[in-house]
Structure 1
Amino acid sequence: MRNIFYVCFTVLGLVIFQLGVYGQKTAGQLTKSPASQSEELSPDYKTIKATAWNDSTLATGVVWKHYHFSNLFASNQFVNVLDVNLSVAEIAIDIPHVTEGFIKTSQAALDNGATAAINGSYFNTTAGGSTVFFRKNGIIVKNTEEGFTHYRENGAFAITRENSPAIIKRPSSGWESADSETILSSGPLLIYGNEIIEQEQTAFNLNRHPRTAIGITANNHIIAVVVDGRNAQSQGMNIEELSILMKALGCVEALNMDGGGSSTMWINNKGVVNHPSDNKLFDNEGERGVATIITFKGNYHK
């Protein structure tokens, strides 16, 4: 009888735990993470805040920063950051794309005359083209494919009708009801309302990978980040680590974009500046073709 009671108690405990982790979430809900209450006290948050970044001004209002950490989240991490001041009127933001097949971030950026660029959102790795909701200048390019994982498109990088970039969350009635002229959905949302979001406990979120993210700060800057991964020189980040990084960089809203072998940052006159992982080497040559790219164009510094 004692053994039966112990087994029942254990099973009940597991059920309660599962309800605690999953029971309060639906596809449309966001829950503040316990990490949001403590990240500013964490050693890694403080390390990021205190970092003396290697930085270069690429154009008026566009700064590129990078750093190779030797002990961030107890690991090597190579991080590239674009800091784009949205108060500078001359900066133009675009999302070049292909509806089928693939285009490399570097090629799309060159074709667009960009100052800098990062890869965009998820795509069909066989046929190409986006797999998530994408509306550009009021025209729907792609609806989310049926069965796509809900938390991987619970947010979006958007350009409002007032031509202001924003990070938005998916409306309960779906993306088509969102008001913004341009919407590139992705996910998961990392930070919303200045709070880190609690994530589902999935391999995608818990494992370290190369990551791309984009966020907005309180003082109206875009922060675009690429973290290298899958290499001893840079192990990559899980979603919680990425959230802490974006919070330490000042973001009050932030969104995970497509990562893994897609993660790429390109700079005019420098080329690919991160270390894309597709060729399994820690160099700049492993770039993958994607479907969407986010570009930033400003007045060049000579």
Structure 2
Amino acid sequence: MFRYLKVHGIGLLYGVLLTGFTVYLLMDTFFISKVYRVAEETEEQNIVLENNQEETMVKTSETSYEDGEISITLTEYREEDTSIYVADIVLSSPEYLKTAFAQNSYGKNVTEKTSEISEGVNAILAINGDYYGAQEKGYVLRNGTLYRSEAEEGQEDLVIYEDGSFEIILEETITAEELLEQGAQELLSFGPALIENGTIAVTEEDEVGKAMASNPRTAIGILDDLHYVFVVSDGRTEESKGLSLLELAEFMDGLGVKTAYNLDGGGSSTMYFNDEVINTTTTNGRSIKERSVSDIVYIGY
């Protein structure tokens, strides 16, 4: 035994170190949380929230919300053997369309459930975002603050400007700093674009990575000035098979959407409205539960 260790010891030690390093890389990539920056709420935001809570007359039901500044109507559709939830949103100001990070922090593997993030920012309505934390590159611009400016080649982003308008851009054609100078307020980096300038931008061949054709989906779209839709579909269950990207685009085109963008889907797809999760959230179809994500898009003060 001693002779064996003497002859092969270096090789065994190398193997142990290599295994340990590999395990660390896997843990670092998928599990170890790293907070790079805390997104602090401003005093002005807190005052606005408190004033609205005290002074606004709110009319709300299971499928609607109205307070004079924000109007939301929730409708459930049944198409392609799938339940689809559409929140029709009309705002008096673009400032009510916002984003938020899990744990109020920009970082790596920093996650919370969509409902938990929503509760933390008093969201009236929310959907999961682009899961920026699972990517090493790609622009991250949220609520007017630039967190990551390293472009991803071929990455198609949704830009939301200060006036509430939408634009689809390719990261390699313009820098995040230039977009910020042009008035970009939010950059969502998942994709692809579903509808651009009123024209469907995907085909039946398009898919995110190697995902199945039919999946739970999350998308955001604009119909007119300060008039938006949040769309989430169920999928991977006996009740709902899910949608392909083309089916999702065709559905949103039928709603009259001018620009639509695909967000993180699958087990991440979640819609939260009036303190409840609206859709059936699942990763594998067997267990119905929320997946923790890195960020949300929401409507609120």
TM-score by length of 2: 0.67
| CA-CA distance at 1:124 after TM superposition | 4.2
Alignment-derived partner of residue 8 in structure 1: none
Alignment-derived partner of residue 230 in structure 1: 236
Alignment-derived partner of residue 186 in structure 2: 182
| CA-CA distance at 1:159 after TM superposition | 3.0
Q: Residue 258 in 1 paired to residue 257 in 2?
A: no
| CA-CA distance at 1:250 after TM superposition | 1.5
The amino acid that maps onto 2:117 is: A
Give the alignment of 1:84-233 within 5 angstroms.
84-86=89-91, 88-89=92-93, 92-97=96-101, 98=105, 99-100=107-108, 101-125=110-134, 132-143=138-149, 150=154, 153-160=155-162, 163-170=163-170, 173-176=173-176, 177-178=178-179, 179=182, 180-199=184-203, 201-204=205-208, 207-218=213-224, 220-233=226-239
Whether the 8 Å CA contact 1:154–1:170 is kept in 2: the answer is yes
| Counterparts in 2 of 1:244 and 1:184: CA distance versus 1, 3 Å | same
Question: Secondary structure of 2:219's match?
Answer: strand
| CA-CA distance at 1:90 after TM superposition | 8.9
Whether the 8 Å CA contact 1:122–1:132 is kept in 2: the answer is no
Whether the 8 Å CA contact 1:117–1:296 is kept in 2: the answer is yes
Following the alignment from structure 1 to structure 2, what is the Cα–Cα distance between the partners of residues 81 and 91?
Answer: 21
* CA deviations over 1:3-24 (Å, ceiling 9, x no partner): xxxxxxxxxxxxxxxxxxxxxx
Whether the 8 Å CA contact 2:132–2:189 is kept in 1: the answer is no
Whether the 8 Å CA contact 1:158–1:168 is kept in 2: the answer is no
Question: Secondary structure of 2:260's match?
Answer: strand
| Counterparts in 2 of 1:164 and 1:220: CA distance versus 1, 3 Å | closer
Give the alignment of 1:24-35 within 5 angstroms.
none
| CA-CA distance at 1:68 after TM superposition | 5.1
* CA deviations over 1:172-196 (Å, ceiling 9, x no partner): 5234132213322221001111111
Question: Secondary structure of 1:96's match?
Answer: strand
Following the alignment from structure 1 to structure 2, what is the Cα–Cα distance between the partners of residues 132 and 258?
Answer: 14
| CA-CA distance at 1:145 after TM superposition | 7.0
Aligned pair count reads 228
Q: Which of 277, 292, 301 is the matching residue for 2:295?
A: 292
Alignment-derived partner of residue 81 in structure 1: 86
Alignment-derived partner of residue 57 in structure 1: 64
The amino acid that maps onto 1:272 is: V
Following the alignment from structure 1 to structure 2, what is the Cα–Cα distance between the partners of residues 124 and 264?
Answer: 17
| Counterparts in 2 of 1:144 and 1:279: CA distance versus 1, 3 Å | farther
* CA deviations over 1:90-110 (Å, ceiling 9, x no partner): 971221114232121111111
Whether the 8 Å CA contact 1:167–1:216 is kept in 2: the answer is no
| Counterparts in 2 of 1:172 and 1:105: CA distance versus 1, 3 Å | same
| Counterparts in 2 of 1:144 and 1:207: CA distance versus 1, 3 Å | farther
Following the alignment from structure 2 to structure 1, what is the Cα–Cα distance between the partners of residues 136 and 282?
Answer: 21
Q: Greater shift after overlay, 223-232 or 171-180?
A: 171-180
Following the alignment from structure 2 to structure 1, what is the Cα–Cα distance between the partners of residues 240 and 141?
Answer: 34
Alignment-derived partner of residue 32 in structure 1: none
TM-score by length of 1: 0.67
When you count strand as a share of all residues, which structure comes out higher?
2
Following the alignment from structure 2 to structure 1, what is the Cα–Cα distance between the partners of residues 167 and 122?
Answer: 24
Q: Greater shift after overlay, 186-195 or 172-181?
A: 172-181
Following the alignment from structure 1 to structure 2, what is the Cα–Cα distance between the partners of residues 206 and 261?
Answer: 13
Runs of at least 4 residues of structure 1 off by over 4 A?
144-147
Q: Any gaps of 5 or more consecutive residues in structure 2?
A: 1-60
| CA-CA distance at 1:199 after TM superposition | 4.0
Q: Any gaps of 5 or more consecutive residues in structure 1?
A: 1-53
The amino acid that maps onto 2:298 is: T
